[in-house]
Chains A and B, each alone.
Chain A
């Protein structure tokens, strides 16, 4: 009985820590910097959504931009770059980048906010 309860607590802890780790990846790798520089993440998501519509297209477009950031690839208006410099290419490996992008899309996913 004690063993079972201990095993359950361990599993729960592992699950929570894994989730936190995911959130942390997004926070550390993306949102923390966005917050510091007052870059509106939700607005960026909506811009991608407005232009690319599907989850796969959005994911691909973000990844492409983060790997090779260029003004013409960005969804932000050109005036934005008069004030802010274009970001440096990400140094995240492919898996972590994909994971962070998926978390970003999930975090702002419009479907979750819609109701009748």
Chain B
């Protein structure tokens, strides 16, 4: 799966799951609130039923001739107390003063019934009951379980939906990758042939009258070869096996400068190279070539004719600066994106800096790009 595809899928899934979760939460809350109200009402109904039953029993006791009167004890763990019309305590299953506030609390349900005629002298009957939280707790657990199972189901569904939605993009990307792969493959042989033959002419042939033309062909071929290498690198990046070894970066940098010599000479650049000898780095050779080539190539490509190119290699950093067109401040944040080109005056696909960033990230190097529009750019890689 491509990074862009993975990112799109992750964004879609997060929005989809978040909105589903919010919707579920609101619906569950409304349902829970309603069910809780219903459950509390049911418990409160018991108080009403017990109130009628107790008053009937009080009536029986009042009529009784017995010397000992057994106070009716309500069922369902309900407490009952009778008070006279002055709200003074008469008798009850608990000794409790007449409450100042009769409304229900989180943990207690209360009900006061007036009694008339005043059986046993009672003017008020107070019934209290501790709220049974068990059904509410069970319901909460059920809702949580439902949300968990629902969440998992929606996550799976969302994943497949997401894959379905990004499949056109995936197909387009795959098609483009295939096209690049085929194109680069078809480009490789003729470019190699041209470059080899130019080298042979330069080595064995005598072609002084056409030296300039031959040089231009060599530059064009090297540009093509560079583009080919970048595209091939990007294309193979996912399953590319790196051969990391202790590489002499100084030699490699000199070699690559020599490779680009025909290009910077054609642009009449003044090159100043301060390359310390025997600077070694643990890096794959192809990665190092792509890193150096892309920075030098950009510095030549976007430089002015008769401009300057400065290269510094120390034990800690590689710095390449040019006197080119520079980059506008507002474009600095997007220059690392693949296929992003902030200046179309020169050729290319906008993949150079993306490759540099990938290599820097892979080896945990740091990159610093300082640029001033119309003055030049300085790229520093530190390790």
Contacts and interface: CB of A to CB of B under 8 A. Distances in A.
State yes or no: do A and B come from one complex.
yes
B38 interface: no
A104 to B, nearest CB: 14
A53 B93 contact: no
B120 A114 contact: yes
B238 interface: no
A53 B117 CA distance: 9
A42 B86 CA distance: 23
B70 interface: yes
B352 interface: no
B118 interface: yes
B121 interface: yes
Given A49-B118, A53-B122, A114 B86 contact: no
A54 B69 contact: no
Contacts of B71: 114-116
A113 B67 contact: yes
B117 A116 contact: no
Interface SS, B side: loop
Interface residues of A, number: 17
B73 interface: yes
Given A46-B62, A49-B120, A51-B117, A110 B85 contact: no
B162 interface: no
A51 B84 CA distance: 11
Using C-beta atoms within 8 Å of the partner chain, give the interface range for chain B.
20 to 34
Which of B70, B88, B120, B121 is packed against the most chain A CB atoms within 10 Å? B121
Contact of A115 (B65, B68, B120, B122): B68
A104 B382 CA distance: 108
Given A51-B117, A53-B122, A114 B69 contact: yes
A111 interface: yes
A55 B121 CA distance: 9
A54 B70 contact: no
Interface string B86-126: 10101101000000000000000000000001111111000
Contacts of B73: 116
Interface of A: 42, 46, 49-57, 110-111, 113-116
Given A53-B85, A57-B85, A111-B90, 5 more contacts: A50-B62, A114-B90, A114-B91, A114-B120, A115-B68
Interface of B: 61-62, 65-71, 73, 84-86, 88, 90-91, 93, 117-123
28 contacts: A49-B121, A50-B117, A50-B118, A50-B119, A51-B117, A52-B118, A53-B85, A53-B118, A53-B122, A54-B85, A54-B88, A54-B121, A57-B85, A110-B69, A110-B90, A111-B90, A111-B91, A113-B69, A114-B70, A114-B90, A114-B91, A115-B68, A115-B69, A115-B70, A116-B70, A116-B71, A116-B73, A116-B93
